[in-house]
Amino acid sequence: MNQHGVWGGPKWTAGFAVLFFAGATFAQNGPVTVTSPDGSIRMSIEVAGMGGGRGQAPSPQLVYEVSFKGKPVIARSVMGIDLEGQAPLGPNLVIAGSTPSKIGETYSTPAGRSNPVRNECNAVTVDLKRLLVEARAYNDGVAFRYRIPAEDGARELRIANERTQFVMAREGTAYPLLLRNYRTSWEDNYHTLPLSGIHPESLIAMPFLVELPGVAFVGITEAHIENYSGMYLKHSERNARAFEARLSPRIDDPAVRVITAAPAVSPWRVVLIGAEPGRLIETNMMLNLNPPSMIADTSWIKPGKASWDWWSGPYAEGLSERPGKNTETIRHYVDFASRSHFEYFMLDAGWAVVTRGGPSDSGVDLTRVRPEIDMPAVLEYAKSKNVKLWLWAHWSDVDRQMDAAFPLYEKWGIAGVKIDFMDRDDQQMVDFYRRTAKLAAEHHLMVDFHGAYKPDGIERTWPNVLTREGVLGLEYNKWSARVTPEHNVMLAFTRLIAGPMDYTPGGFRNATMAGFEPRNVQPMVMGTRAHQTALFVVYQSPFEMVSDDPEAYTGQKELAFLSAVPVTWDETRVLTGKVGEYIAVARRKGKEWYIGAITGRDAVEIDLPLEFLGAGSYTAEIYSDAPDAETSPTHTTLERRKVDRSMRIHTKMVPGGGQAIRIRPGS
């Protein structure tokens, strides 16, 4: 047990209050309430009558409701857990008592959207004898989770599903990511649909963004997934505004979602709430709902940018041999990283010796390097250039070989591993993530989970986990036309709210929609050069691969911005935006501010306030769409001017355009 308790939650220090009610227990049992520190968000939990047809009495169910500034957000929704071979936890329970508490702490992290992080909320634990419900109310949302006590001793629990519902208080607009099944990647386009228009057979991935007009923007997701399976939603066939939890089935027994022993705990079910969608991008709730760091000394965890040999295909200029997985090509990319002041080079698939072959570059020996690569020479050369290497690996090979590979990588001086193709979040796969993070930390390795499920805040507990994919990113330009400027804007409001996003921005072969064509070598990107440059601010990823080949950046003025822009931040503010249309984000590192603005299909003109700046004068370097960027999307302008906090910067973006700004103190 640590200072935050067995399950990573707070110690409950407030007094214990027993609540008594008269009459029928299901009708009078509650409610227990918890309110955010600023009083704007309120959650109530009770046992109340639900259902019941003609001539039938309603049955007692555990339910909750959530309001924002006095307006309903989540209408009465069922809570509970279905157990295989046992009575469900939810119906016919009685509230025996509740224990309120508060959390107020500040902590630092090696990487994130702000630092230090403030964790402040009001909390309550509701005792239902066979089940405990922990709930927290923050100024930007609520969260709850289930705890199953051991009763007379540890006992096996086989969880068939959850009864958890999210019933929206009114009709609205939904922005779902719809997946084919539980065994697929989170790499797809988001949709814009009426809330009631999502088909009941659709599997909705997290995070799930909903706009309730006149009330709030709501983001549903989960945090601290450990010894459990991931959650999805299904649209109820009985209620147009209701969404019901579905847990990812186990591989070995698909009829069961979780096999564990009591006492047990579920992940946090998270409801992010904001008057504007940008508030959901700024929140640190996902981190705050996870246990503190398990790594005592985090000084070796170094966020940074990397040159990358995969996205541009086998292409490089001036080499004596064919570009590919060989020593000369690696040196070429290391040189580029060094010149550009990038900390890393990412050596992608194909570097290890194939032993038996398998799907998606699996079936290799992660401790042996192909003969075309002189790894000792490469590592020594990179060290002389102040650059470190990351290595790519298929998850199945990591699962088989991590005990041998990770100590070897530590000996080599490898900085981190990019692990790919998991494409699942069942209980066994969730366990793989946790085992990997722990062993990697023991050997001073950072981790990028590619082919991953959505973030759950694990980076607070295991801060060596810098980022993850779980997104349809720039790689899809190699074989499709799916990564449009509108898609990029949508990602900022949807996928990004869950946490770091390994999208791999920085494509400099910019094309109009009419001129774009997918290709594997030297891929194009839709939208303008300023749009791609701004993505380094709009998106958050403490390990950021600069996607294109070195030649794409040679002589380009925007490379100076890419070299300077940080990958971890002290403060984040969303200045303005409209879901799917445009967004402008300001982020601070030390005394410098960076602003990234992008637009989708339409041109946008906005004035960006600089009220967040401190006193005194600053110099702004402004990379904007050139006047002809709509037809010549590689064209940008660079302007330097003095600014202060009383001023505004006029932003004029062409369709698919953007603007990237660096603001430094002084003139």
How many Å apart are CA 576 and CA 164, to the nearest integer? 33
Residue 614 burial (C-beta neighbours within 10 Å; 0-12, 13-18, 19+): exposed
Tell me whether residue 569 is in a domain.
Answer: yes
CA 234 remoteness from chain centre: 21
More confident residue, 457 or 11: 457
Structure tokens at 585: 């984000």
The residues facing 573 across adjacent strands are 586
Q: Are residues 165 and 232 in the same domain?
A: yes
Question: 443-482 as b/e, with b when 16 or more CB fall inside 10 Å?
Answer: bbbbbbbbbbbbbbbbbbbbbbbbbbbbbbbbbbbbeeee
Domain boundary among 265, 288, 311: 288
- At residue 154, the pLDDT reads 64
Of 264, 288, 312, the residue that ends a domain is 288
DSSP 461-488: HSTTEEEE--S--GGGGGT-S---HHHH
The three-class DSSP label of residue 295 is coil
Are 63 and 165 found together in one domain? yes
Between CA 600 and CA 486 the distance in angstroms is: 4
Q: Rounded to 5 degrees, what angle do the CA atoms 470, 476, 481 make?
A: 130
Question: In terms of domains, do 615 and 587 share one?
Answer: yes
Residue 513 has pLDDT above 70, yes or no: yes
Q: Please check whether residue 587 lies inside any domain of the structure.
A: yes
What is the separation of C-alpha 156 from the centre of its chain, rounded to a whole number of angstroms?
32
Task: Report the domain count for the chain.
Answer: 3
Question: Is 406 in the same domain as 488?
Answer: no
Instruction: Examine the pLDDT at 11 and tell me if it is beyond 70.
Output: no
* Dist CA 168 CA 158 (whole Å): 30
CA distance 259 to 81: 13
Is residue 427 in a domain?
Answer: no
Examine residue 243 and state whether it is found in any structural domain, yes or no: yes
Range of the domain at 392: 303-421
- DSSP output for 578-639: ETTTEEEEEEEETTEEEEEEEE-SS-EEEEEE-TTS-SS-EEEEEEEE-TTTTTSTT-EEEE
Residues counted in the chain: 667
Q: 453 and 424 in contact (C-beta within 8 Å)?
A: yes
Domain contains 506: yes
CA-based R_g, the chain, Å: 25
Can you tell me the distance from the alpha carbon of 100 to that of 98, in angstroms, rounded to the nearest whole number?
Answer: 7
Mention every residue, 6+ apart, whose C-beta is less than 8 A from residue 376: none
pLDDT confidence bin for 55, thresholds 50/70/90: low
Burial class (CB in 10 A: 0-12, 13-18, 19+), 4: middle
User: Per-residue pLDDT averaged across 134-151, rounded?
Assistant: 96
Q: What is the pLDDT of residue 2?
A: 36
Instruction: Determine which of 36-40, 56-60, 127-131, 557-561 has the lowest per-residue pLDDT on average.
Output: 56-60
Q: Is the pLDDT of residue 29 over 70?
A: no
Within a 10 A sphere around the Cβ of 519, how many other Cβ atoms? Answer: 13
**pLDDT band at 5; cut points 50, 70, 90:** very low
- Would you state the structure tokens that stand for residue 241, as one six-digit string? 């505004």
Separation of alpha carbons 567 and 581, rounded Å: 24
CB 589 within 8 A of CB 130: no
Residue 238: partners with Cβ closer than 8 Å, 6 or more residues away: none
DSSP 318: S
The 3-class SS string of 525-588 reads: EECCHHHHHHHHHHCCCCEEEECCCHHHHCCCCCHHHHHHCCCCCCEEEEEEEECCCEEEEEEE
Confidence bin at 602 (pLDDT 50/70/90): very high
What are the structure tokens assigned to 87, written together?
């009575």
| pLDDT given at position 318 | 87
Q: Answer yes or no: are the C-beta atoms of 341 and 385 closer than 8 Å.
A: no
Residue type, 124: V
Share above pLDDT 90 across residues of the chain, in percent, rounded to a whole number:
91
Q: Which amino acid is at 457?
A: G
**d(Cα 466, Cα 236) in Å, to the nearest integer?**
36
Same-domain check for residues 350 and 389:
yes
Mean per-residue pLDDT over the chain, rounded? 94
Q: Do residues 279 and 315 both lie within one domain?
A: no
User: What pLDDT score was predicted for residue 10?
Assistant: 33
Supply the CATH number for residue 350's domain.
3.20.20.70
What integer pLDDT is reported at residue 53 of this predicted model? 56
Q: How far apart are CA 121 and CA 604, in angstroms?
A: 38
Residue 49 has a pLDDT of 84
**CATH code at 99?**
2.70.98.10
pLDDT, tens only, 398-453 = 999 999 999 999 999 999 999 999 999 999 999 999 999 999 999 999 999 999 99
Q: At what angle do helices 395-412 and 427-442 cross, to 10 degrees?
A: 10
Of the pLDDT bands very low, low, confident and very high (cuts 50, 70, 90), residue 321 is confident
Is the peptide bond preceding residue 323 cis, with omega within 30 degrees of 0?
no
Rounded Cα distance between 91 and 595, Å, is: 50
Residue 452 CA to chain centroid, in angstroms? 10
Contact between residue 633 and residue 656 where contact means Cβ atoms under 8 Å apart: yes
Establish if 167 belongs to a structural domain.
yes
Residue 547: predicted pLDDT: 97
199 and 134 housed in the same domain: yes
Does 616 lie in the same domain as 511?
yes
Please compute the mean of the pLDDT values over residues 192-212 and round it to a whole number: 97
| Residue type at position 261 | A
pLDDT over 50 (residue 627): yes
pLDDT for residue 152 is more than 60: no
Alpha-carbon gap, residue 43 to 35, rounded angstroms: 6
User: Averaged over 363-385, what is the pLDDT?
Assistant: 98
Provide the pLDDT for residue 17. 30
Does residue 56 have a pLDDT over 80? no
Using alpha carbons, list the distances in angstroms from residue 492 to 117, 303, 497, 539, 554: 21, 21, 7, 7, 29
Q: What is the DSSP letter of 47?
A: E
> Does the structure show a pLDDT above 50 at 27?
no
Q: Is residue 512 part of a domain?
A: yes
Distance CA 388, CA 51 (A): 61
Query: Domain end: 288, 321, 347, which one?
Result: 288
Q: Is it the case that residue 30 has pLDDT exceeding 90? A: no
DSSP 372: T
Q: Once rounded to an integer, what is the mean pLDDT over residues 469-480?
A: 98
Q: Which of 160, 164, 165 is nearest to 82 (CA)?
A: 160
Sign, CA torsion 20/21/23/24: negative
Q: What's the pLDDT band for 59 if we cut at 50, 70, 90?
A: confident
**Would 466 be classed as within a structural domain?**
no
Are both 266 and 164 inside the same structural domain?
yes
- Type of residue numbered 112: G
Residues 180 and 270 in one domain: yes
In the chain, the percentage of residues whose pLDDT exceeds 70 is: 94
Helix (H, G, I), strand (E, B) or coil at 305: strand
- Report helix, strand or coil for 130: coil
- Within this chain, do residues 157 and 180 fall inside the same structural domain, yes or no? yes
* pLDDT beyond 50 at 28: no
pLDDT tens, position by position, 561-599:
999 999 999 999 999 999 999 999 999 999 999 999 999
CB 504 within 8 A of CB 611: no
Whether 9 has a pLDDT exceeding 70, the answer reads no
Residue 127, judged by CB atoms within 10 A of its CB (0-12, 13-18, 19+), counts as buried
Rounded Cα gap, residues 129 and 50, in angstroms: 21
Residue environment code for 165-179, b if the CB has 16+ CB neighbours within 10 A, otherwise e? bbbbbeebbbbbbbb
- Cβ atoms of 220 and 206 closer than 8 Å: yes
Q: Are residues 484 and 594 in the same domain?
A: yes
